[in-house]
Chains A and B, each alone.
Chain A
Amino acid sequence: MNDNEAMNTEEKELLSALKALAREEQGLAARPHVEARLMRAWDDARGTGAGRRPSFLVPVLKIAAAMVVAASAAYWWGGGGAVPPAGPEPGVGPAVMTSWPSSETLAWLDPEPESLQIVHVRVASAALAAQGYALSDPDGDGLVDLEVIVATDGTARGVRVVPASAPIY
Chain B
Amino acid sequence: MEDAAEPSDPELVERARGGEREAFGFLYRRHQAYVYRFARAMTGSSAVAEDIVQEVFLALMRDLERYDATRAGLRTYLFGIARNLARYKARSVRRLISLDQVEEVSEFEDPAAALSASQESRRLRRCLAGLPARYREVIILCDLQELDYAATAAVLSVPIGTVRSRLHRGRQMLLERLRPRDGLPVAKRCLI
Residues of A within 8 A of B (CB): 7, 9-11, 13-22, 24-25, 28-31, 34-35, 37-39, 41-43, 45-46, 48-50
Q: B29 contacts the other chain (Cβ, under 8 Å)?
A: yes
- B112–A35 contact, CB under 8 A? no
- B146–A29 contact, CB under 8 A? no
- B146–A22 contact, CB under 8 A? yes
- Tell me the bound Cα distance from A38 to B51 in angstroms: 11
- Tell me the bound Cα distance from A11 to B176 in angstroms: 11
- A30–B53 contact, CB under 8 A? yes
Known: A17-B121, A29-B36, A38-B28. 19 other contacts (CB 8 A): A10-B112, A13-B111, A14-B115, A14-B174, A16-B115, A19-B143, A20-B121, A22-B144, A22-B146, A25-B41, A28-B36, A30-B49, A30-B50, A30-B53, A35-B25, A35-B29, A42-B61, A45-B61, A49-B21
- A29–B33 contact, CB under 8 A? yes
- Please report whether the interface of chain B is mostly helix, strand, loop or mixed according to DSSP: helix
- A38–B124 contact, CB under 8 A? no
Q: Write the chain A residue with the least CB distance to B54.
A: A34
B78 to chain A, nearest CB (A): 13
> In which size bucket is the chain B interface?
35 or more
- Tell me the bound Cα distance from A57 to B116 in angstroms: 62
Residue among A16, A20, A21, A37 facing the most chain B CB atoms (10 A cut-off): A21
Q: Write the chain B residue with the least CB distance to A24.
A: B121
- Tell me the bound Cα distance from A45 to B61 in angstroms: 9
- A14–B61 contact, CB under 8 A? no
* Chain A residues whose CB sits within 8 angstroms of the CB of B61 once the complex forms: 38, 41-42, 45
- Tell me the bound Cα distance from A28 to B38 in angstroms: 10
Q: B155 contacts the other chain (Cβ, under 8 Å)?
A: no
- Tell me the bound Cα distance from A19 to B174 in angstroms: 15
- B175–A10 contact, CB under 8 A? yes
B129 to chain A, nearest CB (A): 12
* Chain A residues whose CB sits within 8 angstroms of the CB of B116 once the complex forms: 17
Interface string of B43-78 (1 = CB under 8 A from A): 000000110011001100110000000000000000
